[in-house]
Amino acid sequence: MLEQIFQFLVTGITVGSIYALVGLGFALIYNASDVVNFAQGEFVMLGAMTAIALFGAGLPLALAAIAATLLTALVGLLLERCAIEPARGASVVTTIIITIGAAIFLRGVVSLLWGKNSLPLPAFSGNEPINLGGATLLPQSLWVLGGAVLLVSLTRAFLNRTLLGKALLACSFNSAAA
């Protein structure tokens, strides 16, 4: 029984970390621009699909992952410049509608480019499970956990310690005063 609880804990924390990372993106965008980004899920999908495509094209896995992150960030930037920025000062509902539109658009483009089926991407360091007191843990889970901890602490440091981060927070509290 204890063994099972331990396994549920390991699985739960891994899956939870993935959601935490998605949530981090949500929170950042909302804090910086007051936009509730309904296309957040599509950006997660876009990052994964780009990585799969680049990896499939022969790039090493690490490089494919980094390039996919940058490309997805670029798409995010374009979305901000072309759709959110022109609607500056619009109501929350308007920006929500814009992001929903962006979500449908991204999904459409991706299913045209790479189809609608699920595709596999290999784990970073193999699929051999690590045994931990009866529970098993995948090396990939460690990457996920490490990545989540690192990104959350980096974001925190950025917002509280750097001038740019503080400026970002100030803007979101009161853009007129900032």
Partner 1 sequence: MLRTGLLKIFLATMLLMGVNLVNAAEPIKIGTFLTVTGPAAFLGDPELKTLQMVIEDLNVKGGLNGRKIELVHYDTGGNAREALNFVKRLIRKDNVDIIVGGTTSGDSLAVILEVEKESVPFISLAGAVQIIEPVRKWVFKVAHTDRMAAAKIFEDLRKRGLNKVALITGDGGFDKSGREQVLKLAPEYGITLVADESYGNKDTDMTTQLTKIRATDAQAIINFGFGQAPAIVTKNIKQLGIALPVYQSHGVASKTFIDLAGEAAEGVRLPAAALVVAEQLPDTDPQKPILLAYKKEYEAKHGPVSTFGGHAYDGIMIAAEAIKRAGGTDKAKVRDEIEKTSGFIGTAGVFNMTSEDHMGLNLDAFKMVEIRDGAWKIVE
Contact 38, 99 (CB under 8 A): yes
Among 58, 86, 120, 133, binds partner 1 (CB under 8 A): 120
Does position 173 interact with partner 1 (CB under 8 A)? The reply is no
- Three-state DSSP state, 130: strand
Distance CA 34, CA 90 (A): 11
Binding characters for partner 1, 1-30, by CB under 8 A (x = yes): x-xx--xx--x---x---------------
Q: Which is nearer to partner 1, 144 or 168 (CB)?
A: 144
Distance CA 168, CA 140 (A): 33
Contact 124, 61 (CB under 8 A): yes
Distance CA 53, CA 79 (A): 21
Contact 92, 36 (CB under 8 A): yes
Q: Which is nearer to partner 1, 28 or 48 (CB)?
A: 48
Does position 117 interact with partner 1 (CB under 8 A)? The reply is yes
What is the closest distance, in whole angstroms, from the C-beta atom of residue 147 to partner 1 in the complex? 17
Does position 69 interact with partner 1 (CB under 8 A)? The reply is no
Distance CA 11, CA 17 (A): 10
Among 111, 125, 136, 160, binds partner 1 (CB under 8 A): 136
- Three-state DSSP state, 72: helix
| E-state strands within the chain | 130-132, 135-137
Q: Which is nearer to partner 1, 15 or 87 (CB)?
A: 15
Does position 115 interact with partner 1 (CB under 8 A)? The reply is no
Residues 76-105 that bind partner 1 (CB under 8 A): none
Positions that interact with partner 1 (CB under 8 A): 1, 3-4, 7-8, 11, 15, 117-120, 122, 127, 129, 131, 136, 138
